[in-house]
Every structure is written in C-alpha cells, then in structure tokens.
Structure 1
C-alpha cells in the first residue's frame, strides 16, 4: 500500500500540489504526454526551483497564450485598496454569463461541468486519472452551486473552468495515478484570515466555496496567524477528493518527500510538503467515521430491510439493527450506520424518508483498520475476487489472511450449480496458493 501524506499546514492550491508531487518524483514526461492531448493547447507549462524562506522548493507554472490575464497571483488586485479591472480574472466565481461577454470570451472562460468532462475524456490520461479529475471538478461544482443558489448543471465555471486550472487539476490526477497512491493522509488545512477580492466584490476568507467543501467533506481547518487566502477552492477540492484519513500512524518511515511552492507573497510563505511513508510497528491504519443511530418502534420488518439495502447502496460502510425495549416496554430496534463524513447527510435523508423516525443521533468515532487489498484468483469455474488482509496476532506479528468476496463466490455458485461452502474453500485455497 502506498501512503501519501500532504502537509498542508501552510495551505494548498492546484499548482502547489502539482509541484509537490513532481518534487516527490512523479513522472514529468508522462504528465507532458497527457497534457499534449488536451484539445485546448493555449497554454505552456514550466517547472523550476524557487526559494521560500531559504528553503528550495519546486514551482509549477501554467502560462496562458490565449490573452487571459492572471490575477490569481496579482497581490495588488487580490488584496490592494483599489481594484483594477483586467480583461479576464481567474478569481471570478461561477455565475451566469452576461450579454456583455462576447462569444469568444464566453467560450474561453465559461464552461459547464459537462464541457470540462468532455475535454478530460479526449485526453490520453488513464481512466483512473480521468475519474480523479472529474471527482475534483464535481466537488468544486457542488460547492459553487450551493454558494450561488443554482443547480450544479447551471454552474458556469470561470475560475476553475479557466484553462490553467484545468491543467492544474488534470496534472494532479495524472501524477497521483502515476505514484499509484491508494491512501492519502491530510491532517489539517492551514488557512489565513481577512478578505480577498474577486470580480464580484470582496469575499471573506475562507471563501464560500472553500467553506462549503470543508463542511460537506468534513475537512479540518487550522488558522494561520497571517492575512491571506492559503486554501483555494481547487486545493480544498483536491483534499476532499483524495483524503482517506487525517491521522498519521504512530510510527512511520519517510520514504521520499517533495516540496511545492505557492506563488502568492504573504508574510508567511505557502509551502506544501508531499511525503510517501511506510508505517512501522503497528501496521494497522486509522480513520474517522460517523456513527448514526436512531430508535425505531413502528416500522415494518420489510421497510427496515429495504432501508438497510438502500443505505448500503448509497455508501454506508456498515449498517445493522439491535433489538431493544423502549418506553412502555415497547419492542423496537436501534438502526446504526457507519459512514464517511461526506456521506452523513445523504444517509440521514435515506433513513428519514424510508422509516418512521423523527430524529437521528450522530457522533465521530475512530476505527483501527487492517491493511487490505483486492486479489483476483482463477478457479476452474471462473475468476473470483478475494480480499487480502494483514492481521496481527496477540504478539503484534502480522500474518496474511484471505477473505473470498461473497458476491463473486455466490455468482459462480449459481452459474455452475455448486454448493457455496465448498466453492468458498476452493477460492480461499486458490488465493493462499497464488
């Protein structure tokens, strides 16, 4: 398992993430090959070394050749007393285009989510990289839709739909895919304070899109004692899309690290550290989940069973019923659900709409989880999926254990009219001998 740690204590943005991953050792040539297949080629990229507070860091720069101005790094525009009005601002937030924009300007700077997906699909990126990029864009679109009170398909991307931000997000996805990262730890996002200018006026820091992303995906913000925007919407969306945990293992080795530089000049420099780590000692991971629970005493068994199936179909990690007696000695059930923070509201709505409950309790819980990966094994009856886990004994020594996936074993048993226990043992033996 490859574990990536993003040290975002002094902020995160798209270009900082690309720079940190390149400095970590991700394949720059592979990135160039993918970017060369973007349908819109009105950009140039450059990678260089810069110094921030005497530390050397990687800088990733996208320069547009379509005439668009870059105000995202213009400190006078972002934080100056008076705003100047460049032709195109990357800090414009999504909003319906006005008639004053000509067709060329509209085509270049305003894109819907579907437009961006079509651009991504035309590149040579792997399916995994495309899916990562689409997930990041979707998270931003959801936040901007909420900020502006419009449907997600009505969001006109400007800041994040601009070509340089498309390059940033696609680059992050390609490099994450190249590093074959399957776990990403982000402990906290360092954010400054104050206000920042966008085309439509002055916004508080964190800007609304960042606030909505942090709220929807359970991101932890840590205040930096410095005026300025350290977490951009793109940076927050990258964390929301990639993060699998926010707790470092108790003991670990740093295998490799890289440092990406931010371009804005604050009193405190923006630097993003990316590290590949290997846990030592206890090889179990830890993550934070939400536990939902509610007492139900007047729903039918069929309704409860249907609700359980629907919860699993929409992302529940675990769901179960516990028989209890409530007031007046009524027989009832506690419905309990474990889920990721970003799934909480959706699963609560499923419970409300499919049962008779009128209240749901929630709390944060931490899980110690075993390292696991999927293995496909061949049997005389077809391929079967097996979950492979590293399990500690009471002395702390880890051993490999194989768990055939029930759904694939059931499918093969039905197709070949076999008994389930015998086929289960066959798959397990195949995995142990693989």
Structure 2
C-alpha cells in the first residue's frame, strides 16, 4: 500500500498554492516556519489563513520577511539548506532536487552553467520558503508517490527580472518539457517556475485521477483572483492498494489517431516517400506491416499514429502520395512513460539519448543510434563501444545527481 498525493492543477500551480494545500492537509505551519528560520533566516514569518476564491474555501500562506536584494547562486541555496538544523535529511534532499530542476532550466535559457546561473525570483526568500516548506511538508506526510494532472500555463505576458515575456515564462517552459500541458485561455501566469519545478521534481506521472482511496483533500489559494474560476490548487491525499495499481498510475495518458490503409499496387519507393512525408508533417510514427490481399497479392498495411489535430493533413498526404482509395481511422487512448532528452559526454564527444522513467520511479537510458553511429564512423570505433561508453557516462551522471 502506497501513500499518494495527486495534484489537480485546474488553475495551475505555484509555490504558495502548493504550500497552502499541504497545510490544509494537516501539516503544521509553525514547523515549516521553524525549518525555514533554521536556514539562517530568523526574521521570516510564515502564517496561514482561510480565504474564499469564487466562493470556495482554501488556505492561503503568507510569507513575510525583511526587504533584500540578494541574487543567489545554486551553491548559496544548497549551503543554506545544509545549515538548516530543523530540516531532516530527506527534506533537504528533496529541496535540493527541486532547486536543481530550476537551476538546469535557468542555465539553459540564459546560456550559462549550473555553477554560474543566478536565481532571481526563485532565489528570493519567499520562493526559498515555498520550496523548502513543500519539501518539509511532503516528508512529514510520508508521501510514497506524487502524481498530477496536465498543467495549464495560462496566456498573455508577465514581467520578470529580465523584462516582459510571454506566458509561460522561459524558465517555466523549459521546466515543463515532457510534461503534458492543458490548454487555457486565461490571460494570467497560472503556473510559475517554482510550481513547475515542484511537479517536475516530485511527480512520477501525469494523467487523470488514478484509482485510489481518498483520505483528505487540501486546497491551496493563489494570490490572484480569476474571473473564470477559483484560483486554487486541489491536492488529494490517499492510498493506492498494491504495486500494480501504483505502477499503472505512474504513466502519462493522452489520445492518438490511428490511420491505416492497404497498398497492393504501390511501389516500395513510393511507400517510402510517403512515410517520409508523413513524418515530416507531424506523424508520431509510421510503419508497414506485410500482408496478403485478395487474389493472393503481396501488399503492406501502412499504419500512421498521429496527434488527432494532424489527421486532415496526414490523410491528404496518404491520398496524394500513395495509391490508397480508402483510409481506416480511429482514436485510441494511449499510456506512455515519462521521458526526456539528455546528452552525455564520452571520450569521443557528446551523445544524445532518451531517458524514460519506469513506473517504479527508476530511470532507463537509451542511446540515439544515429549519434552513436556517426561518432563511431568519425573515430573508427566499434558502434557497441560507443554505446557502452554513453550508457556508462549516463550511469555515472545519474549517480552523481542522486548524491546531490
């Protein structure tokens, strides 16, 4: 049996919304305050009260502190976390993991390194309190797994330390790579970098509410008031009964269109050309299945998997660039593992790979064949040697990241 938190992000997610929802689940706000103060921030005051958002009650967390103008680096924040004598080791590790997600995103969008990147908004005391407070609260709740819905970002523009930018802000967009996004026409920043980082660092899967026994429901209020809906984050606390159910919950869900047509009078070159065009036009996958048609003709079933929004374009390609006179179509539910692209450094240069997160939380790295083959040819090495070197480099990098 696993204790689970499920984040229902209808109105997005921010640090204060998360902290408010966890306090509403029963975490003592005074213990969070003590933990944050022990980091060398004795003047921070954290309080929580009930508010109404579009008629619904929720907990709003207030963080008060003296004015400051510090721009911290990652190592400064990690040193502060390590100094916190009211923060246990598990909470420290989780807080560092969340900040590391932010640091990687900031370094990417500003073209710098983890060591040199400056934290601006997320390095401010209130954001530090949100992240550390969330880590402390999750540890106190004894959470075994976190899952979440698709995440709306909102639309419009927002002003940050680097000027005016479109929503989602650059760091938020980078953090949310490989996370399912829910469309929203609300002109506001619904999801902040802090909220996005909390989900990216903790959630093992994104999708609808899983099969679980709900024990408590917490509501965290955001600062804004929205015209269209209550600006609240709802967090379910409950239990999943067995490992199989937990594994099924740790996946992403979406829908895909599946299109197929039988071709028995189309040359191999023409089919290959059509496959190329379909992939360039947005198909997720294209493959051929050998079959035998009526009258004993050898043929192929050309199968196309695509986002539903691309069906019209891909159907036109099939009719124009093959001899098809009919296409079968259906929409199917799909489960998929959480994944991300990652580069590793080898003695012969960088190699791209794909990292997938398995349902039990472990990760698996797969080398991109084209990269490995190109490096093998350029250096007169065996392909297997390059693949092994890349896999070893990722294993070492993964171990180092876990030790931080």
TM over 0.5: yes
Q: Which residue of 2 aligns with 1:20?
A: 21
Deviation at 1:210, TM superposition (A): 0.6
Query: Is 1:260 matched up with 2:226?
Result: no
Deviation at 1:198, TM superposition (A): 2.2
Q: Which residue of 1 aligns with 2:182?
A: 222
Note closer, same or farther for the CA distance 1:284–1:159 as it changes in structure 2 (3 Å cut).
closer
Note closer, same or farther for the CA distance 1:354–1:48 as it changes in structure 2 (3 Å cut).
closer
Deviation at 1:43, TM superposition (A): 2.3
Q: Which residue of 2 aligns with 1:113?
A: 74
Note closer, same or farther for the CA distance 1:60–1:180 as it changes in structure 2 (3 Å cut).
same
Query: In 2, Cα distance between the equivalents of 1:280 and 1:162?
Result: 40
Deviation at 1:248, TM superposition (A): 4.7
Q: Which residue of 2 aligns with 1:3?
A: 4
Note closer, same or farther for the CA distance 1:36–1:200 as it changes in structure 2 (3 Å cut).
closer
RMSD: 3.0
State the secondary structure of the residue aligned to 2:220. strand
Contact 1:7-1:272 at 8 Å conserved across structures: yes
Deviation at 1:187, TM superposition (A): 1.9
Deviations 1:25-49 (A, max 9, x none): 1233432332231202232211000
Query: In 1, Cα distance between the equivalents of 2:210 and 2:117?
Result: 43
Deviations 1:106-150 (A, max 9, x none): xxx211111111111111201110011111111111111111111
Note closer, same or farther for the CA distance 1:12–1:370 as it changes in structure 2 (3 Å cut).
closer
Note closer, same or farther for the CA distance 1:169–1:184 as it changes in structure 2 (3 Å cut).
same
Deviations 1:276-309 (A, max 9, x none): 12236973522338xxxxxxxxxxxxxxxxxxxx
Query: In 2, Cα distance between the equivalents of 1:41 and 1:122?
Result: 13
Query: In 1, Cα distance between the equivalents of 2:76 and 2:212?
Result: 42
State the secondary structure of the residue aligned to 2:205. coil
Query: Is 1:145 matched up with 2:146?
Result: no
Query: In 2, Cα distance between the equivalents of 1:285 and 1:61?
Result: 37
Q: Which residue of 2 aligns with 1:345?
A: 342
State the secondary structure of the residue aligned to 1:237. helix
Query: In 2, Cα distance between the equivalents of 1:163 and 1:116?
Result: 10
Note closer, same or farther for the CA distance 1:350–1:7 as it changes in structure 2 (3 Å cut).
farther
Q: Aligned residue pairs: how many?
A: 274
Q: Which residue of 2 aligns with 1:67?
A: 67
Note closer, same or farther for the CA distance 1:227–1:247 as it changes in structure 2 (3 Å cut).
closer
Contact 1:249-1:285 at 8 Å conserved across structures: no
Q: Which residue of 2 aligns with 1:269?
A: 230
Note closer, same or farther for the CA distance 1:248–1:370 as it changes in structure 2 (3 Å cut).
farther
Query: In 1, Cα distance between the equivalents of 2:100 and 2:355?
Result: 27
Q: Which residue of 2 aligns with 1:212?
A: 174
Q: Which residue of 2 aligns with 1:87?
A: none
Q: Which residue of 2 aligns with 1:198?
A: 160
Note closer, same or farther for the CA distance 1:201–1:252 as it changes in structure 2 (3 Å cut).
same
State the secondary structure of the residue aligned to 1:345. strand
Q: Which residue of 2 aligns with 1:279?
A: 240
Query: In 1, Cα distance between the equivalents of 2:73 and 2:113?
Result: 11
User: Hey, which bits of structure 1, 4+ residues long, moved more than 6 A?
Assistant: 349-352
Query: Is 1:238 matched up with 2:198?
Result: yes
Contact 1:283-1:370 at 8 Å conserved across structures: no
Q: Which residue of 1 aligns with 2:50?
A: 49
Query: In 2, Cα distance between the equivalents of 1:19 and 1:147?
Result: 29
Contact 2:4-2:238 at 8 Å conserved across structures: yes
Note closer, same or farther for the CA distance 1:139–1:116 as it changes in structure 2 (3 Å cut).
same
Runs (5+) with no aligned partner, structure 1? 69-104, 290-337, 373-434
Note closer, same or farther for the CA distance 1:250–1:202 as it changes in structure 2 (3 Å cut).
closer
Q: Which residue of 1 aligns with 2:388?
A: none
Query: In 1, Cα distance between the equivalents of 2:203 and 2:210?
Result: 18
Query: Is 1:288 matched up with 2:251?
Result: yes
Contact 1:5-1:276 at 8 Å conserved across structures: yes
Contact 2:29-2:48 at 8 Å conserved across structures: no
Query: In 1, Cα distance between the equivalents of 2:230 and 2:81?
Result: 32
Note closer, same or farther for the CA distance 1:45–1:288 as it changes in structure 2 (3 Å cut).
same
Query: In 1, Cα distance between the equivalents of 2:33 and 2:138?
Result: 14
Deviation at 1:151, TM superposition (A): 1.4
State the secondary structure of the residue aligned to 2:195. helix
1:372-411 equivalence runs, <5 A: none
Note closer, same or farther for the CA distance 1:351–1:11 as it changes in structure 2 (3 Å cut).
farther
Contact 1:4-1:274 at 8 Å conserved across structures: yes
